[in-house]
């Protein structure tokens, strides 16, 4: 990926240890608490490509995420998500895939262009590498499912994974929203208010989710496995992403 700009922001790959440490510090503040100092790091960092979105004028890091590519589904057992979800069904996927993880935006930054630039960077990578499936874990803040019942009901009604790809339960603590909320109809306004911005972006492009959420006390989140088959993205949405 070449460095590119939209408005006041630019996106680029991390170029060395200092860049990766900057991403790990931002991740720590986002996932462990605003104002906290430390590094959010794990064994997957050394295997991943790291994407940084910066304020072009100040070089301040405002967003980051990491990418872990696979030639096909045969290697998906080595993904971060495979620690929490049974992904045997996706092992049959025969196209190139990439896991997007640890996505975060500085909580002090409210500009929607940051998310647009992040997706533009992802689109450039997907096009260049011929990726056919983008996947990862989409997180809700906190571990109390009651705060997101309408969002989960909407996921159950409209956005569950196709049966042939549906992840199995693997984590010790999960919220099985598809079965628990089988009869609940979502309030659409409350559902969209509770939906994380990254997950909303996946869904408008045709993304789908697992039928359960994992309770992750380490990061203080509830997360759902999220997949997006590139060929299923509406053509109008693809044009908008590439135009960005």
Check residue 138 and give its pLDDT: 97
Hey, what are 213's tokens?
A: 């959420």
pLDDT above 60 for 139: yes
Check residue 6 and give its pLDDT: 73
Hey, what are 37's tokens?
A: 């100092």
Identify whether the C-beta of residue 125 lies closer than 8 Å to the C-beta of residue 2.
no
Identify whether the C-beta of residue 68 lies closer than 8 Å to the C-beta of residue 137.
no
Percent over 90 (pLDDT), the chain: 82
pLDDT tens track for 220-231:
999 999 999 999
Check residue 7 and give its pLDDT: 79
Check residue 109 and give its pLDDT: 92
pLDDT above 90 for 35: no
Hey, what are 166's tokens?
A: 């549906």
pLDDT tens track for 57-73:
999 999 999 999 999 99
pLDDT tens track for 89-117:
999 999 999 999 999 999 999 898 999 89
DSSP secondary structure of 41-107? --TTGGGSEEEEEEETTT--EEEEEEEEEESSGGGGGGSSGGGTEE-GGGGG--S-EEEEEEEEE-T
Hey, what are 125's tokens?
A: 């990578």
Quote the mean pLDDT of the chain.
93
Look at domain 4-243 and name its CATH class.
Answer: alpha beta
Mean pLDDT to the nearest integer, 139-154: 96
pLDDT above 70 for 1: no
Distances (CA, A) of 183 to 12, 149, 156, 203: 45, 12, 10, 22
Output b/e per residue, 216-237; b: 16+ Cβ within 10 A. Answer: beebebbbbbbbbbbeebeeee
Going by DSSP bridges, is the β-strand pair 133-141/97-105 parallel, antiparallel, or unpaired? parallel
The residue assigned the tokens 């430390």 is 38
pLDDT grade, residue 240 (50/70/90)?
A: low
pLDDT grade, residue 199 (50/70/90)?
A: very high
């Amino acid at each position: 990926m070449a460095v590119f700009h939209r408005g006041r922001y630019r996106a680029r790959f991390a170029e060395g240890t200092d860049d990766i440490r900057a991403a790990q510090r931002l991740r720590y503040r986002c996932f462990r608490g605003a104002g906290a100092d430390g590094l959010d790091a794990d064994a997957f960092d050394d295997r991943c490509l790291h994407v940084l979105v910066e304020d072009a004028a100040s070089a301040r890091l405002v967003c980051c995420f990491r990418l872990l590519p696979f030639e096909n589904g045969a290697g998906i057992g080595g993904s971060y998500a495979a620690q929490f979800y049974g992904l045997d069904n996706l092992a049959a996927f025969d196209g190139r895939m990439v896991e997007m993880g640890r996505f975060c935006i500085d909580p002090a930054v409210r500009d929607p262009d940051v998310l647009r630039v992040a997706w533009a960077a992802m689109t450039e990578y997907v096009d260049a590498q011929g990726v056919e499936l983008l996947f990862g874990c989409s997180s809700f803040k906190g571990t109390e499912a009651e705060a997101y019942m309408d969002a989960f009901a909407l996921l159950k009604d409209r956005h569950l994974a196709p049966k042939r790809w549906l992840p199995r339960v693997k984590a010790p603590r999960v919220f099985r929203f598809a079965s628990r909320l089988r009869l609940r109809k979502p309030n659409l306004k409350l559902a969209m208010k509770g939906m994380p911005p990254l997950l909303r972006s996946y869904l408008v492009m045709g993304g789908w989710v697992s039928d359960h959420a994992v309770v992750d006390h380490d990061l203080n989140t509830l997360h759902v496995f999220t997949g997006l088959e590139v060929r299923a993205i509406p053509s109008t949405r693809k044009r908008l992403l590439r135009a960005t």
